Each structure stands twice: as structure tokens, then as C-alpha cells.
Structure 1
Amino acid sequence: MDDDRTVSVHEPTIETALPGPETKRLVEADDDVISPSSPRAYPLAIERAAGVTVTDVDGNTFWDFASGIAVTNVGHNHERVVEAAKDQLDTLVHPAFCDYYSPEPVRLAERLVDLAPGDSPKRLFFGNSGTEAVEAGIKLARHHTGRHRFIAFDGAFHGRTMGSLSLTASKTKYKRGFGPLVPGVDHVPYPDPSRAESPEAALETTFDALEDLLRTRVPADEVAGIVVEPIQGEGGYVVPPEGFHQRLREFADEHGMVLIADEIQTGFGRTGEWFAMDHWNVEPDITLMGKGIANGLPMSAMVARSDVMTWGSGTHASTFHGNPVAAAAANAVIDVIEEDGLLENARTVGTHLREILADLGADVDEISDVRGRGLMIGVEFTDPETGEALGELADEIMHAAWKRGLMVLPCGQSTIRFAPPLTITLEQASTAVELFADAVADAVVTTEQ
């Protein structure tokens, strides 16, 4: 195991009041020049990072158990990833991959089509963000099928550009003021076992809605594709019941629809497999990749079966796609995950983390569910009597955790997500839950006052 695995294992240290004075100055400067459209969870101004630890401009250190929204899967500033990017910077930065050829992105593409779920021959298109991968998937599905409509799921998050935003259904604020959106997108319930009498009931609700949609409102032969997160991300880290993805694959095949798996948050070992669809042995027609692909450098990919990628030259491209610096970093990420056994570590530490969070839940009435796969774990907070989502409490917990040096983020209506680097140890997971438990205890008291 490389030493990077144990980089920055010291516990968080808070030296100033939060936010500190330098952070306050930076926040004020940011407010003057940066678009207010970017949300900020709390006033944290990061100066440097290594492994799971980030240091703010005031010298306070925190453990990043959000991994930059599931991006730094091999830990911040991993030595081998940084070295690979630096070496490529010395050689070539921009080959104009849309017009010419370059070895590093081709080598990466060969590896990604092999790692993508399923055994069919595949090809890929590189993008610069997850949203770009979604947009590419939308275009390819339309082009390949000759159809224009899409089916997505309630609670979904696929991005904020116009096409991807039309698929998104997690928060109304994303859509307010931007209509009309792309027409022809319909949503059905995502099967959430915590919202149903049983996993089977959750499945039937979803597939009854799909059948009703095609029976009453949407001609099946107009639907180009179904877009699904294997495990919902912003919707609440929702793990669907067993059998869901197999039935969805059958449904898509029955109606000639392209099945598009948005693995942007679930990919690159996050759930203990290379991609979450591997848990169910289901091969999508299109797999969307991003976030952890290059450990923080801007890159994404849309991988499709070769018999689906039927568009021709010039139909889709991007000036910066296939950037060799990002590709070099991505190749290093794959090496680190493979050589350091991070899939197994995600499974082992993830199981431990879920178990100790569940133990915490047994003592805290407001914790209604702990769920996830690998190191993609959600802790949901609801009123123990009414079942109502406790969004204010979840927000208070997030801030209380930050003040103790633990960075976590919300999802769903009242869920806290744990998505630490795949490199964390059992001991770090245990310490993080101790910090989280203190935050929960304080937040429960605060919100009850």
C-alpha cells in the first residue's frame, strides 16, 4: 500500500473561531466578484489539502467526508495523480483533441470502455463536466433512436444546463426562472424503500407509474431513453430495491428505449465497485462518468455501446474535451484504485461506517435510516412521531459537524451524506462518527429550544 493511504491522518484541529478572520475577508471578496448562483454549504475557504485533510486560510484543519462532492476519491492531491498531471504539463497541454489525435486520452479511453459496466464493445466521448456528459448522452440517444422524449425520476439530479436541467427533479430552485425547459421529459417515482411499506411495494409503485405513463400520456415509440442514477445522489443517497435495475433494463428493451445510467457520482469505486451498476450486473446502453474520474481536474465521459454510438463526424465535439493533463490524472486515478486495493477498502470501511452510524441511529430517535453502498452513505433525519423530514435539523447538524472539523453535505430533504475518500481507514471512520455524534447531540438540543 502506498504511503498516500496514510497521508494527513491527524485529527481535525480548529485554532480560530469559525469562520476565521482570513476566511471572512475572502468571503467578502468572493461576494463582490463571484456569481451568487453558486451555493456554499458554510463559510470555509480552503487553502491546501492532502488525503482526507483540508486546511483553511486561517490554519484550521478539517476532514473532508464529502470528497468535494464525491470527486477526490483517492484523496486530495494524491502524489501519483499530481505527478502524472505535472509530467503531462511539461509535454503537452492542449492538442485540440476535437481536430487531432493525442496518446494520453486514447489510452484513458481504452481503459474506460473496458471498466464500464457490461461486456459489449464500447466507444466514448470526453467532456469537461458531468453535465456535459449528460448533454452528450441526451443527444446521442435522440440521434440513435430518432425519438425525442425522455423518462427520468423524481428526486433526480443530472445537472443545471438546459437539457440536463430538464431531467433534474430534486429542487424547484434549480428550475425557477429558466423555463421553458427542453420539452418531452417526464418523471416517475424513484423506488425508495424508506418511503414504502416494503421494497416490493416501492418497485411496484415505480413500474405502475411507468406503465401508466405509456398508457395514458406518452407514446412509447417517441421515448428515446430512460435516464437513471443507479443510486440517487442529491435525491437522498437512495439505494433502490433489488431487482429494480434488471426490470428497468427489461422495460427499456421492451420499448426500444436507450437505458442511460448516470454514474457521475457513483462511479470510480465510490460504492465499492468500479460503477454502481456492477452491483446488479446490468449493462446500460450509455454510461455517464464524471466527478471522481480525474480526482478534481475537469473531465467527464459518455460511454456508449458501439452499436448505439451511431452519430457521424462533426455531430458533437468540444474544444477542450480529451484534455491530456486531465487524462493523465485520470489514468493515475485508475492506477491508484487498482494498485492500492481501494475498491475493497471502500467495501470494508464502508460496511464499518454504516454499522457505527446505524449504532448511532439506535440511540438517536431522529435518525430514521442509514443506507448506502461502499463509501456512499446517507443518514436521514425525520420526526420520530410524524415521519416528517427534519431539514432544519440536518442543516444544523452539518454546521455543527463543520465547527468540529468534519465536512459533510446534505442531500434529499433531510439526509446527511458521507462520501469520504476511498483511502480512509477504519480508525478515521470511527473518529469521524464520534465527531458527528457530538454534532448531532448539540444540534438536537439547539433545534428543540
Structure 2
Amino acid sequence: MTDKVRINTLNANSLPQSNETFLARQAEFESNVRSYPRKLPLAIAKAQGAWITDVENNQYLDCLAGAGTLALGHNHPDVLQSIQNVITSGLPLHTLDLTTPLKDEFSAYLLSLLPGLGKEYCLQFTGPSGADAVEAALKLAKKVTGRAGIISFSGAYHGMTHGALAVTGNLSPKEAVDGMMPEVQFMPYPGEYRCPLGIGGEAGVKALSHYFENLINDVESGVRKPAAVILEAIQGEGGVNPAPAEWLRRIRKVTAEHGILLIVDEVQAGFARSGTLFAFEHAGIEPDIIVMSKAVGGGLPLAVLGIKKQFDAWAPGHHTGTFRGNQLAMATGLTTLKILHEQNVAAKVAAQGEWLKARLTALQQRYPAIGHVRGRGLMIGIEMVDPHKAQDAMGCYPADGELAAQVQKQCFGAGLILERGGRNGCVLRLLPSLLITDGELEIFLDKFESALLAAGLTPVNAE
């Protein structure tokens, strides 16, 4: 055995317990594609609730929570017990799409949470990731309508598989990837802070709503009638952009009139994250297909579509996937859904979100580099700007992705984990456990302001 092989196969417990050691080994073992360790350089030893402890015994308040996957935080005791129950029950861990009593209970409960108690919907279990579910939704829409086109929106994020990437707005991962899925038309998504039409406010929303409807109705638009429109009711990776209710309602109206399926991606915003069970509920609409993942599996891999029954055009076996029957994920998912629903966590999240946005808006008054605070519930974005440069026609300063990266770095140094998103990573994003306490949110605010100061920002009222 060579020295290199011997080093690589050492038991982790025999290694020096330092973040640097584990990160160096990860760099040796893994592809350049890894991303989070570059921004959050730690090796996790344990986690509980909203807190993570690294191998050097440093503690961090986790406001990322697995990109929103861990709705109940880390290692919730009821979630852990649900795993133990499966392990000791004798159930197989893997069932393809064969049913079990556990799957039956999970399916019934999930359906009961969909619009109209799920009476108009059926479920499709896809592969284990949100991108897998998006792929299935796109295929189904094409099968139902016999059409090929898809309309998506600038700033969208739907996944990194080939079809999902084609309907994702971010251009960087598309570089040098030829042969993307054809007939994808992107349209502007409303921006609370940066209106893509340069209008802003209610007038901007009305103009964007009219633009969408006109594109569908105009026989000279150059865009064939699509099979589906896919959107997020709150864009996550795109910078925490909540869709105006009026705009969503207009899109629902137009798609219904033209037989275009409306696919709403609730992978990140769903399951009480926005202060309602689903983010589309803020507009009072019903999608034709609901894409669900992340929190629906209670921290374990699971992805599900909610499909209006009249659009369930699949023939048996026309969309399959090996890992559709993850019994552990259905157990943890069922436990999570019951806690979220029966403890009315959405109402708690809505109240905390309004309180936190108010506190962050007050902080914005003292730190001009905070250009905008937005979001719903515990899905909040803080856009960093350069207030020393010229404002645009709408009075917005240029976005400052470099400053956002520096603040994120200083947050990490202060024991606070959060993510960035939006154009050039200029938006600091909060996606904490939905069970985070008010006291922990106070700790977040203290750590966040400390990070702003460490990044070189000076409050305007400082002497």
C-alpha cells in the first residue's frame, strides 16, 4: 500500500480534528464542482436545532438549514424517532414504487395539505431531488398538451439536470453546455426593488402582467403556444423575489384560458417557509402541477409532484426512477408535515418574518450598503449595494456582490451561516429552521451587525 493510499484510508477519528485537515482531504477526494466548502470552510461534527458544531468545537447559528431542507432544524427528536421506528419495523428501506402502510399514510397526509384537501390532485413520486421532479413535470406538460415550448422567467432556479437547467435563469452553469432543451422562452420576473422594465411599483406589475398576456395572445409574437409555464412564487436562488399576487393571478388566468399548464416550483418556498403552507397561497391560485422536495422529505431525499387529476396523462412506466420509494424519507417527511400543520408553524413563521424584516429595515437605515430587505416568512433576502456610486433611474444603487461575499465571510467568522444568491451573489439569504426561536433571531441580528462592521461598514449615525 502506498503512503498516499494509506493516508486516504485513515479512519476520520484518527485524523487531527481540524477544519483545515478535513477540507484539504475533501479537496483531494472531490471534484472542483463542490461549492459550499469554499464559502463555509468547516467540517461539521454535530448539529442540533438551529446550531452546528464543527470539529474544532466552534458553534454556528445555521441560517441555511440545508438550503431550506431542514424545516425543523437539525436532528429534531421526533424526526430521529421516526427513523428508528422504520429501522425496527422490518419495513424495507427501498420499495421502488410499491406501496407500504407508511407510504399510504404519507400520501394521504400530503394530499390533505394540497388545495381543496387534495381532492383534485394525485401524487407522483419521482427521483429524489427537486430537479428530478421538475424534469417529470416538464415531460408531463408536453405529453398532456402535445406542445413542446416552455415559458420560464429570468432569475429562475429549477435545478441542474439538463431540462431543469434549460428553464433556469442563471447563465453561468450553462456555459459550454450545447444542445439545451429547445423552445424555452424566458420572460421578465417582477422585482420589488429592481423592476426589469425600469418602471417599478404597481405600474411595473401591471405592465409585466400585460406583457405576459400579450405575448400569449399575439399571433405575431414569434413564440408558439407553450406546453407549460414554470415559475417560483418566491424566487430563492434568484435573490428572494416574491411574486406580486396580481401578477400570479393574471398568469393563472391566462394559462387556464389557453390550456397551458401552470407548474409552480415549491421546492424551496413550500411547507410553511413563506408563512403559508405553500407560497402560491399568497395569491390564492391553484397550480396544475406542484413541485415539492426539500422539506417534504423531512431532511432526507424525496421529491413529489402534486398533479391535477385531469392532467395525469402518464401511461404506466413512462416516467420511472429507482429511488421513488425511500421509506425513511417518507417517515421523516410525515413527521415533519404533521408538526408543521398541527402546530400551525406557518403562523409563527409569518409573525417572525414580519418582525425580522422590520428589524432589518431599521438596520438598513443605519447602513446604506443594505439596499433592500425583502421576502416572506423565514425566506428573507438582504441586497447589498454600493451607495458611493450613481443611482439608476429608479433610485437604486448598483448591486455589490463583492461586499455581499465579504459580509458572508465575516458572518461565518462571527459564527453565523447564511447563503448568497441573486445577480452576482449580491443578496444575503436567510433560510433558517422554521422552529428558530425569537431569542435565536436576536442572536442572528447581533452577529449580522457585527459582520457588517467587520466588513468595514460604518453606521451613518456613528460619531
3-state SS of paired residue (1:67): coil
Find the residue that maps to 1:260 and give its secondary structure: strand
> 2-side partners of 1:184 and 1:285: how far apart?
21
Instruction: Please list, as runs of the form range in 1=range in 2, the aligned pairs for 1:178-257 lying within 5 A after superposition.
Output: 178-196=177-195, 197-211=199-213, 213-214=215-216, 215=218, 216-220=221-225, 223-257=226-260
Of stretches 174-183 and 337-346 in structure 1, the one that deviates more from structure 2 is 337-346
Which one of the candidate residues 306, 312, 316 is aligned to 1:313?
A: 316
Q: Does the aligned pair in 1 maintain the 2:378–2:432 contact within 8 Å?
A: yes
* 2:258 equivalent to 1:258: no
State the partner residue of 1:130. Answer: 130
Residue identity matched to 1:301: V
In the alignment, which of 292, 298, 303 is matched to residue 301 of structure 2? 298
Alignment pair present for 1:433 and 2:445: yes
- 1:21 Cα deviation after fit: 6.3
Q: Which runs of 5+ in 2 are unaligned?
A: 1-15, 392-396, 459-463
The structure 2 residue matched to 1:394, chosen from 385, 390, 404, is 404
1:6 alignment counterpart: none
**TM-score, with structure 2 as normaliser:** 0.88
Query: Could you list the per-position Cα deviations for residues 138-167 of structure 1 after superposition, in whole angstroms to 9, with x for gaps in the alignment?
Result: 111111111111000000000000010000
The secondary structure found in structure 2 opposite 1:371 is strand
Matches within 5 A, 1:267-286: 267-286=270-289
| Residue identity opposite 1:116 in structure 2 | L
Equivalent residue for 1:39, pick from 24, 35, 38: 35
- Equivalent residue for 1:54, pick from 52, 55, 68: 52
Q: Secondary structure at the match of 1:265?
A: coil
| 1:327 alignment partner in structure 2 | 330
**Residues 371-421 of structure 1: per-residue CA shift (max 9 Å, x gap):** 111111111112234311100000000110011011110010211111111
3-state SS in 2 of match to 1:444: coil
Give the Cα–Cα distance (whole angstroms) in 1 for the partners of residues 320 and 338 of structure 2.
28
Inter-partner Cα distance in structure 2 for 1:183 and 1:146: 15
Alignment partner, residue 113 of structure 2: 115
Q: Secondary structure at the match of 1:312?
A: coil
Code of the aligned partner of 1:397: V
What amino acid sits opposite 2:143 in the alignment? H
Q: Please give the secondary structure, in 1, of the residue aligned with 2:311.
A: coil
**Post-superposition offset of 1:284:** 0.2
Give the CA deviation at 1:355. Answer: 1.1
Which digits, 9 at most, give the CA deviation of each residue in 1:13-48, with x for residues without a partner?
A: xxxxxxx96111111111111122121222121121
Offset of residue 95 of structure 1: 4.5
SS for the counterpart of 2:60 is: strand
Task: Give the whole-Å Cα distance in 1 for the aligned partners of 2:432 and 2:294.
Answer: 13
Q: Deviations over 1:245-272 (max 9, x none)?
A: 1111011112210000000000111011
Is the Cα contact below 8 Å between 2:150 and 2:230 reproduced in 1?
A: yes
Tell me the SS of whatever aligns to 2:193.
helix
SS at structure 2 position matched to 1:243: helix
Identity %: 33
Q: Distance in 2 between matches of 1:86 and 1:317?
A: 28
Per-residue deviation, 1:438: 1.1
CA 1:44–1:142 in structure 2 vs 1: closer, same or farther (change >3 Å)? same
Q: Which amino acid aligns with 1:388?
A: P
Matched, 1:24 2:20: yes
Contact map agreement 2:239 2:427 (CA 8 A) in 1? yes
The SS at the match of 1:226 is strand
Secondary structure, aligned partner of 1:70: coil
| Counterpart amino acid of residue 109 in structure 2 | R
Indicate the larger mover: 87-96 or 243-252: 87-96
Which sections of structure 1, spanning at least 5 residues, go unmatched? Answer: 1-19
User: What's the counterpart of residue 4 of structure 1?
Assistant: none
The change in CA–CA distance for 1:95 and 1:405 in structure 2 (over 3 A counts) is closer
Inter-partner Cα distance in structure 2 for 1:217 and 1:38: 40
User: Residues 152 and 113 of structure 1: is their aligned pair in 2 closer, same or farther, counting only changes over 3 Å?
Assistant: same
Q: How far 1:211 moved relative to its partner?
A: 4.4
Letter in 1 for 2:33: S
Counterpart residue identity of residue 207, structure 1 = S
8 Å CA contact 2:236, 2:421 repeated in 1: yes
Q: Is the 8 A contact 2:239 2:422 kept in 1?
A: yes
Query: 363-372 or 199-208: which moved more?
Result: 199-208
- Asked whether the 8 Å contact 2:40–2:417 carries over to 1, the reply is no
* Counterpart position of 1:8: none
Count of residues paired in the alignment = 423
Residue from 350, 353, 357 that aligns with 1:354? 357
For residues 47 and 204 of structure 2, the distance between their equivalents in structure 1, rounded to whole angstroms, comes to 41
Q: 1:333 to 1:431 in 2, by over 3 A?
A: same
Conservation of the 8 A alpha-carbon contact between 1:63 and 1:407? yes
Range that drifts further, 369-378 or 86-95: 86-95
Residue 445 of structure 1: how far off its partner (Å):
4.2
Preserved CA contact (<8 Å) 1:118 1:284: no
Secondary structure of 2:374 counterpart? strand
2:421 equivalent in structure 1 = 411
> Is the CA contact 1:356–1:430 (under 8 Å) kept in the aligned structure 2?
no
CA distance in 1, matches of 2:326, 2:95: 8
1:225–1:107: structure 2 CA closer, same or farther, 3 Å change rule?
A: same
| Native 8 Å contact 2:262 2:287 kept in 1 | yes
Determine helix, strand or coil for the equivalent of 1:54.
strand
Superposed displacement of residue 334, structure 1: 1.1
Distance 2:158 2:265 in 1: 7
Correspondence for 1:7: none
Report the residue type matching 2:74 in the other structure.
H
The alpha carbon displacement at 1:205 in A equals 4.1
What SS does the corresponding residue of 2:310 show, helix, strand or coil? coil
Q: Give 3-state SS (helix, strand or coil) of 1:69's partner.
A: coil
Quick one: which amino acid aligns to residue 412 of structure 1?
A: G
Return the alpha-carbon distance in structure 2 between the equivalents of residues 347 and 401 of structure 1. Answer: 25
Question: Per-residue displacement from partner, 1:190-225 (whole Å, max 9, x unpaired)?
Answer: 0112113333233244334434544322122xx110
Indicate yes or no: 2:373 matched with 1:370: yes
